Structure 1
Amino acid sequence: MTNKTAHNGDVQLAYETFGAPGGEPLLLIMGLDFQMVYWPDGLCHALAARGFHVARFDNRDAGLSTHFSSPEPENPFRVLLRGSRKPAYTGADMVADGLAVMDALGWNSAHLCGASMGTGLALATAVLHPQRVRTVTTVMGGPAGKINMLRYVKFGVFPRFARIKHPDTDEGAIQTLVDMIRLLSSPHHPFEQEWARSVAEVSHARAPRDPSTTQRQTAAGLNLGAAARRLGEITAPTLIINGADDPLIRPSAGTALARRIPGARSVVYPRMGHILPEHVWTTMADAMAAQAGLTADDRSR
């Protein structure tokens, strides 16, 4: 895939597409501290095969998009619980980034799919810019907003992340990413070692992980303001997907989110953690295509 660049003011946003340009526009919004390559290529191709024109992009502060710096390091637990003292950017800025990618593609509106933190960004877009959203799919997320979301976080996984230690080398950085993916995966499904290693290598080669990005994106994602309290205004059809074995977000978060959005449907996929394993790609692509109203005729075009 060839990377292209969209602009939101001074911020450059790297993106790439799958499928025919005339397909139903679908924007994939990745989660906290992960690059767009964590949307598996196989899933993107499956969505394209069902009639979507798929775009995935690097959020600001990740991958090949514009990176930021923090005035001073902060304890990540403080950021999670209280927010950043001096945020480098806001959740509204990240919502505007997604719209900038859509603008670069000439999309007046699109189907949105957000993963993890991207869930909140997709929902905020549907609240603040309803005319630009056709449908919403959320994956591995829950009710937007700091107070609402924190009650569904499994804090026990964070000490396990902290225990991941490898030498300060390229290989050590790659192995750290592999170990993180392993922790986020379902214990009831074989670990996809080959994919984890491949995406870790690609991610590290594109832009080595910066732990301070986690702090900045956490602060932005947890402070979406009034949008987090206005989920009841969403009119776009909404599909909510969670993993039964998610080590980070309780599956009940999906049900709680569905209660806040009129007509939303919540499903829980077995043997799925906080990652998108290959065995859910077909089910997920079919569900998203059905919600978008795509038929077999759309796939043959």
Structure 2
Amino acid sequence: MTRIRTREGIELAYESLGPEDAPAVILIMGLGAQMHVWPTSLCNRLVEAGYRVIRFDNRDTGRSTALDDHGNPSLIRVWLGRRLKRNPKVPYTLKDMSRDVLALMNELDIPSAHLVGASMGGMIAQILAAQKRKRVRSLTSIMSSASAPRVPVSQLQVMLKLARRPLQRDREEHFRYIARMSEVIGSPGYPMSDKEIHRLAETSWERTSSPMGFKRQLVAITHAGDRRRLLQKIKARTLVIHGADDPLIPVTMGIETASLIRKAKLRVITGMGHDFPEALVPRLSRLLIKHLGKAEQDWQKKISKKRSGKQKKTEAQPDLSQIDSTQIDSSGHTDPVDWLEPLD
């Protein structure tokens, strides 16, 4: 694991897997989750398919910079401010987090990449795909939405349980929280094993930077509001994956996301909740590899077309550097070969 530092002074911890000259796939994780929530087995399958895979900790998560100087912002105040069409002050926004991704790409000398975002990470990837088209080869939005999640009353309890994170560094309480979250938002058709849950809890405990980072990220999501118009600007090949049994972001929001993006493909997985159990990796990797392959073909065709157009334009223009100045008369014509069209 290594780090880069952005112009804003944010340090981002990241891992790069696969050859550096392969097409890059950047994995953007969701709310309060660290880079290792992306299953290593999924990363390895993408590398085997010919890609360079980069996963990283968002700001305020894992080994990346913790912005504790911003304190504990009021979620209710931000929510009310958005409802009243005001612009409440927040520690940072999803756009700021999208600029972190660009900074990572710039530091690693990656002109363009395939973006795969989960939950909040999907929202960040959507913003980049809409606003930085030349940097995005394709978009995959997983268990995400086009606006701040609209949680039905029946699912409000899920959000409340998710928000009850341990505020102090207590190992046993942290492990209980991870186990509880697996029960609340896990995939009923692909339940995680006790070993998987323990591994996630162990890794996140060792790499936790700031308990309050979760709250600041949640405020950024709330502040972002409605992005439905923004999504209509996306032109990159897009795949939307959503669990039919997602208790946190309803599948209707995934369907809406796909409907807003031109020619987006939607894949709803029965039994999938709001997590990445190992049992789902084979299916997710097949969907991703197929999507990335088609998107990469599109991208290479686009590059070839641009190069061909530039070459034709260059060939159509006279190369004045190869002409002896003594052969050009006062009219601008060459002698003995006049290849310039005379003016009327």
Post-superposition offset of 1:31: 0.5
How well do the aligned residues superpose, as a CA RMSD in angstroms?
2.7
Q: Within the alignment, does 1:109 sit opposite 2:112 as a pair?
A: yes
Post-superposition offset of 1:15: 0.5
* SS of equivalent to 2:14: strand
Post-superposition offset of 1:12: 0.7
The Cα offsets for residues 50-103 of structure 1, whole Å up to 9 and x where unpaired, read as 111000011011111111126553454555565694311121110000111111
How far apart, CA to CA, are the structure 1 residues paired with 2:210 and 2:188? 25
Post-superposition offset of 1:163: 6.9
The Cα offsets for residues 147-197 of structure 1, whole Å up to 9 and x where unpaired, read as xx3267942312444678899622222221232233220233333221121
Taking structure 1 as reference, are residues 94 and 72 closer, same or farther at Cα in structure 2, changes over 3 Å only? closer
* SS of equivalent to 1:102: helix
- Name 2:259's counterpart in structure 1: 259
* 1:185–1:275 Cα contact (<8 Å) kept: yes
Q: Within the alignment, does 1:188 sit opposite 2:189 as a pair?
A: yes
The Cα offsets for residues 100-133 of structure 1, whole Å up to 9 and x where unpaired, read as 1111221100000000011110000011111000
* 2:243–2:269 Cα contact (<8 Å) kept: yes
Q: Within the alignment, does 1:53 sit opposite 2:52 as a pair?
A: yes
How far apart, CA to CA, are the structure 2 residues paired with 1:41 and 1:168? 26
Taking structure 1 as reference, are residues 285 and 74 closer, same or farther at Cα in structure 2, changes over 3 Å only? same
- Name 2:276's counterpart in structure 1: 276
Please tell me the residue identity of whatever aligns with 1:289.
Answer: I
How far apart, CA to CA, are the structure 1 residues paired with 2:168 and 2:230? 45
Taking structure 1 as reference, are residues 209 and 243 closer, same or farther at Cα in structure 2, changes over 3 Å only? farther
* SS of equivalent to 2:223: coil
Taking structure 1 as reference, are residues 292 and 209 closer, same or farther at Cα in structure 2, changes over 3 Å only? same
Taking structure 1 as reference, are residues 20 and 264 closer, same or farther at Cα in structure 2, changes over 3 Å only? same
Please tell me the residue identity of whatever aligns with 2:201.
Answer: A
Gap regions ≥5 residues in structure 1 = 296-301
Post-superposition offset of 1:16: 0.4
The size of the alignment, in residue pairs, is 290
Taking structure 1 as reference, are residues 228 and 59 closer, same or farther at Cα in structure 2, changes over 3 Å only? farther
1:135 to 135, 138, 147: 138
Gap regions ≥5 residues in structure 2 = 296-344
- Name 2:62's counterpart in structure 1: 63
* 2:78–2:223 Cα contact (<8 Å) kept: no
Question: Taking structure 2 as the reference length, what is the TM-score of the superposition?
Answer: 0.76
How far apart, CA to CA, are the structure 1 residues paired with 2:158 and 2:227? 28
The Cα offsets for residues 198-221 of structure 1, whole Å up to 9 and x where unpaired, read as 1211111112551x2222112223
- Name 2:179's counterpart in structure 1: 178
Deviates more, 1:198-207 or 1:69-78: 69-78
* 1:13–1:59 Cα contact (<8 Å) kept: yes
* 1:50–1:285 Cα contact (<8 Å) kept: no
Q: Which has the larger radius of gyration?
A: 2
Taking structure 1 as reference, are residues 82 and 177 closer, same or farther at Cα in structure 2, changes over 3 Å only? farther
- Name 2:36's counterpart in structure 1: 37
How high is the sequence identity, in percent, across the aligned residues?
Answer: 34
Taking structure 1 as reference, are residues 218 and 262 closer, same or farther at Cα in structure 2, changes over 3 Å only? same
- Name 2:207's counterpart in structure 1: 206
Taking structure 1 as reference, are residues 174 and 271 closer, same or farther at Cα in structure 2, changes over 3 Å only? same
* SS of equivalent to 1:241: strand
Q: Within the alignment, does 1:155 sit opposite 2:146 as a pair?
A: no
Post-superposition offset of 1:27: 0.4
